[in-house]
Structures are given as C-alpha cells and as structure tokens.
Structure 1
Amino acid sequence: MGDIAVIGLGAMGRPIARNLVRAGHDVVVWNRSDGPADELVAAGARRAASVAEAVRAPVVFSVLSDDRAFAETFLDSGVLTHARGGAVHVNLATVSAGLARRAEAVHTGHGVAYVAAPVFGRVPVAEAGALNILAAGAHGPVDRVLPFFDVIGSRTWRLGERPEQANVVKILGNYLIACAIQSLGEAVSVAEGAGVDPGQLVELLTSTLFPGTVHTGYGSMIAERRYQPAGFTTLLGRKDLHLALDAAADHGIPLPTGELLRAVFDQAVADGRGEDDWAAVTEQQPRATAADRRT
C-alpha cells in the first residue's frame, strides 16, 4: 500500500492528489465514480478497488462533501476495521464540530488517529499547492502529516489538540465570507440605484478600504452578475452557514447577522440558485439595470 491514500476526488480532491503524486509520493486514490480516478491513475497514482482497501494506507486524506457523506463512508460502514493500527486519517472537509467529536471517538476506538484539516483556498489555490491548512488534533499525528501538508499548502495553522477546533475556525471563516458577500451586494444595490457604475464602485472599495481576495473576487462577480462557473455553490454556502449557527448555539452565543443570512440563503436556493456561486445570494437585493443607471 502507498504512502498516502486520497479518498474523494472532487474539485478539491483531484488537485490535492495530483500534487502529492507530483511530489513523488506513492498515492492510492478512490472515488465513487471512475472518471476522476482514471485521471489520477494516468498521472501516476494507483487505484484502490474500495474504501476498505484505501484505508489500509498509513496516512489517509479524505475530501468528502459534508457530514452525511463522511459519516456514511467512514463512521457507519465499518470500514475502519480494515485500517491499520497507528494510521492517521486526515479529514480535509468542512464538517460540523459535532461530527468532528464523533469521528475522533470512533477512530480512537479503532486505533486510528484522527486529524481535522479543513482548508482555505479555492480550486486554483489547491492546484498551485498554496492552500492554508487549518489543523487540529494530537501533536504526534499532526507532526507526522506535516510533510504532506507542505506539499498541498503554503502554511499550516495549528489550532489545538481537539479536531473540532479546526472545524470551528473554518466554519467561522466561511461565515465571515458570507457576511462580506451580503454586505457587498447591499452596497452595489444602493450604488446602482444612485446611478453609480458597480464595477467602478468595487474597484474603488477594493483598492482602498477593503483590499483582499474576498472583496476583490466576490465584488467583481457581484458587479458583473457572474455566478457561473461556481467556485463554491449556494447550497454549500448554506450548509456552512447552518454549521456556523449550530456552532454558536453550542456555546449559547447568538449570531444575529447569521439569522438574517439564513433567510437570504434559503430564499436563494428556493429561487433556483443552489448550483450558482454563492455570490448569487446578492440577487435577493433589488438590482438596477445599466439602462436604469443612465437615467
């Protein structure tokens, strides 16, 4: 069995696995559908016939979409009985704090270390091997997987010894992005109503008050009303917003803005924007046309 297995070859899993192959690691891959695995095998990876075979690797990375997919694949299937003692499983997905706690307990029961390592960075960042990795778990297992993190990321942030801590930080980061998207949409909506060119507004704001990838990237998408191809869908954004609300509720802390955003995201999905980029939630705001701005 190889150095490392990568389970889940979606938009993020593919570049992560490819970079590990390019770095010279012996990579075993598994995916529900064959196409992504075929692509990685052609690049030099080896295909596992099943998840049970893949988890026999000494280090396993998984990049699955949500709590349900992760639980079905690893926690409820009995597949961890096939893992080798002393293995490390790194979950790169954004999942709830509650699932992280359950996952750690189940893995410990099978003699497998569990590390949470969600990431900041979209697909192009993953392709460049420049992700920011939010890692939490016992020191020894995290130390063991740092060389792999160095391949796929530009920096690893060690956030604590409890895996859930990394997931909470990731969820809060996505929550703040959702807040920024909504506020950008509100500002663009008012500016359009006053006849201001939205592109010029975004250029001004991101060149002065709000530089950075979030306001620059999402601001241009909102100004241009460009929501495809989706880098991160509204459905996924709604999932992470609900995770943030749940995490806050766990600690008895209100998120008033989050409650407002819940209604915005729910309506955007109801309006058929679930597969658009989550910047599309700003279409819930009144938007002026170019002709309106000229009058």
Structure 2
Amino acid sequence: MSSIAVIGLGAMGRPIARNLLKAGHNVVVWNRSDGLADELVAAGARRANSVAEAMHVPVVFSVLSDDQAVAETFIDSGVLAQTTGGTVHVNLATVSAGLARRAGAAHAEHGVGYIAAPVFGRVPVAEAGALNILAAGEHALIDRVQPFFDVIGSRTWRLGDRPEQANIVKILGNYLIACAIQSLGEAVSLAEGVGVDSGQFVELLTSTLFPGAVYTGYGSMIAERRYQPAGFTTVLGRKDLHLALQAATDHDIPLLIGQVLRTVFDKAIAEGRGADDWAAIVEQQPR
C-alpha cells in the first residue's frame, strides 16, 4: 500500500491517521508532543523524529490548529527546503485565505505540491471516515491524493485550483453555523419566556422546518445547556469568525451579522466560556 504522513495528532488528526492505518496504508506520524502518537505507533504507525523526516513521505496530511501553527511548522521553519521534490502536502486546517496563498507560493518555490483540504465534520464523523473534504489546488495533485481522501471522507468537493478557495468555503460554512447557533439561542430564549418547553420546541423545529445536523445537534445542546465535552470550542469559533470578517473586508463585502457575533463571542470568552462548545455563546442571551 501507499505511504502517507500525518502531522498533528489532535482530536481530528488521530482518527484520520487511525483510519488510514485500518485501510492498510503505511502511516508515518508526528506530533509536537510524543504522547499523542503512542497509540498510533502501537497500532502500526511509524513515528517520525521531526517534521522534516515526515515530509520525506510522498503524501503528507497536516491537521494543525491555525495560521500560526501552519506557518511555524512549514513556512518559517525552513522545512520545505529540506523536502524531497514531488511530495504533496495536504493542509486540512482551517486557515485564512492569506495564509493559503502564502503557503502555496512557499511550497511552489521548493517544488512541493500544496493542496488546501479543510473538512466539514466533527470528531465522530472523522472516526467514521465520513468527512466532507473541501479541496482546492492543482487538479493533478488532487487526483493523486484522492485515494486517501476516499478513506477519510464520504465526498470530496473540488472547489477550484487555488488553495484559498477551499479555505474561504470552510470559513463561510463555519460562519453560517455560528449564525444558526445565535438565532437558535434567541428563539429558544423567547420560547422559554412564554412557557414553551425548549426541548419540545427544538424537536418541532428540527422535525419540520429545519432538519439537518446543525439545527438538530446544536438545538439539543442549547435546549439542555450542555456545552461539554466541546466538539468545537468558543475560542476556535471566534478564530474562524475573525477569518470570515477578514475575508469580507478584503473583498469589500459586509457581513453584518458577523459584526454582532464578534461582540457575542468576545463576551462569551471574557466570561470564561472559551473552552466550552461554541454553542455556549447563546448564554449571552437572557433566558
């Protein structure tokens, strides 16, 4: 089978690496802290001693947290200059359009392929190998890594030949989830205010007008005020909201609801809800 490296073994990186192992691929893993790699090594993965070593594998998936982590690991570290020509780096992180452009140029300078491939789906979806993959970059490179995408995802959406196109789509998807969370919180608050059971109210909405994972999943969390364990934290949500507002400014397109959400997220984090699931922003709404 083919060889692939996975760099970044957080909540999403581990199940992605695990599924690639189960599919029979030779998997090399690297993480800043060694402990998170132990389980995968025990299951048959090979531990790389450095990012540079991992980058000598023909295909590399990275699952890092933000622009800074990606820039420090791949661009500012000089690791690309040490990478064998022909390697393809697939960045699954949600990063800014600016970072995507910078990363694409830096990889091209050193003859390393670069694909942006952020995903829709929480940890249970990653564990099931059913992520939706938002891919952008050279078509030939995407074709080359598609067999790996088929292992970790249910569908690959090819969104263009410029990496930032995939990142903008992911950012907008998360922006719309934040809008849905806020509007759900407002509606639940008013329903409770007139004595309607919030659980029944959410069940009604999600069974009729708004079926689907966002309203069903977040609606139940809001009705139950259940924000732990966090599938996606308020801090990460605020990061992605900032990326959406930044992209909107760059293209001179206002996101009016986003301006309101900026205040909501900032207040939620200031009140100590940064590590809660981002559904907790609704607690800024009187209930």
Instruction: Report the TM range for the smaller structure's normalisation.
Output: over 0.9
Match of 1:89, SS state, is: strand
Paired amino acid for 1:186: E
Q: CA deviation at 1:36?
A: 1.4
Q: Distance in 2 between matches of 1:124 and 1:203?
A: 22
**RMSD over equivalenced CA pairs, Å:** 0.6
Deviations 1:119-140 (A, max 9, x none): 0000000000000000000011
**2:153 is the counterpart of 1:158:** no
3-state SS in 2 of match to 1:281: helix
Q: Is the 8 A contact 1:57 1:83 kept in 2?
A: no
Q: What runs of 5+ residues in structure 2 fail to find an aligned partner?
A: none
Q: Partner residue of 2:6?
A: 6
Q: Confirm or deny that 1:250 pairs with 2:250.
A: yes
Counterparts in 2 of 1:202-281, with a 5 A limit? 202-281=202-281
1:73, 1:212 → 2: CA distance? 36
Distance of 1:151 and 1:259 partners within structure 2: 38
SS at match of 1:11: coil
Normalising by structure 1, report the TM-score.
0.96
Q: Which runs of 4+ in 1 moved over 2 A?
A: none
CA shift for structure 1 position 236 = 0.2
Distance (whole Å) between structure 2 residues aligned to residue 59 and residue 250 of structure 1: 32
Q: CA deviation at 1:86?
A: 1.1
| Residues 135 and 156 in structure 1, CA contact (< 8 A), matched pair in contact too | yes
Question: Which residue identity lines up with residue 172 of structure 1 in the other structure?
Answer: L
Contact map agreement 1:4 1:61 (CA 8 A) in 2 = yes
| TM-score, length of structure 2 as denominator length | 0.99
Secondary structure, in 3 states, of the residue corresponding to 2:200? helix
For the Cα contact (< 8 Å) 1:234–1:276, is it kept in 2?
Answer: yes
Deviations 1:119-172 (A, max 9, x none): 000000000000000000001111100000000000000000000000000000
Q: Deviations over 1:235-261 (max 9, x none)?
A: 000000000001111110000000000
CA distance in 1, matches of 2:27, 2:10: 16
C-alpha deviations, 1:85-112, integer Å up to 9, x for none?
A: 0110000000000000000000000100
Deviation at 1:33, TM superposition (A): 1.0
Q: Distance in 2 between matches of 1:175 and 1:46?
A: 37
Aligned residue type for 1:36: L
Q: Secondary structure at the match of 1:154?
A: strand
How many residues are paired up?
286
For residues 146 and 199 of structure 2, the distance between their equivalents in structure 1, rounded to whole angstroms, comes to 41
Residues in 2 aligned to 1:132 and 1:39: alpha-carbon distance in whole angstroms: 25
The one-letter code sitting in structure 1 at the alignment partner of 2:193 is G
In structure 2, what is the equivalent of residue 51 of structure 1?
A: 51
- SS of the aligned residue for 2:111 comes to coil
Aligned to 2:148: 148
How many angstroms does 1:43 deviate by? Answer: 1.1
